[in-house]
Amino acid sequence: MLEMFSLKGKTAIVTGANTGLGQGMCVAFAEAGANVCGVARRSCQETKEKVLAVGGKFIEVMADLSSTEPVKRILDECIKEFGGADILVNNAGIIKREDAINVNEEDWQQVLNVNLNVVFFLSQEFAKRAILKNKGGKIINICSMLSYQGGIRVPAYAASKSAVMGLTKALCNEWAAKGINVNGIAPGYMATNNTQALRSDEARSEAILDRIPQGRWGTPDDLMGASIFLASSASDYVNGFTIAVDGGWLAR
């Protein structure tokens, strides 16, 4: 049974791999036996060291995901190094906090470029190559609690993450028959860079913790199990679904 969760011989591409949830998933994939291609606009040296420490192989692809320009290069560099790509995790994302009445078009577009546009076109390029080789693959889109809810002062982020959950379903409908599983993970309130402002606001942090049944912020380690499941053959008949890893937040 445990062999179903093995990623031995597989290669995973993870965007936003330099820190936080992306870094945690890179280490998890390496521990499960996969080669890892980490994508980020900043150095992934710390992630590389963590992957090597558990006996994994890692390459870094420096790319600014505020545009679709690096999409093909990411796949090319990964395939050149490891001979293929079996798993794609669309994790990179940005958030800009501002009252909706004051959001400008530049900030709105930047959030959608990173959180939605690149997710689609990177998935498309991954799928084209998988279908050409008739080998299937696994795509994991990192959604959010705001794929379900509206949030406060983050209209572009909420819109993009709601769209990513819808996109997950849409791509499943077209690619499931091609052997490509497209699923999502919706992390709850995680202790990462994106939530630093919330955690620093004592009143806001307390209000959030009061609603989480498990009574704590999540950590990158909390995402490891779900990501391994969706990347492995254990989830071969799971498609188009978004798993919440939220400490019970959505149950309240």
Active-site annotation holds for 157: yes
148, 157, 189, 237: which one is catalytic?
Answer: 157
Q: Give the Cα separation of 72 and 63 in Å (integer).
A: 11
List, in sequence order, the alpha helices (H) in the chain: 20-31, 45-53, 71-82, 105-112, 118-133, 155-175, 196-200, 202-211, 224-231
Three-class SS string for 11-70?
EEEEECCCCHHHHHHHHHHHHCCCEEEEEECCCCHHHHHHHHHCCCCEEEEECCCCCCCC
The residues that are catalytic are 157
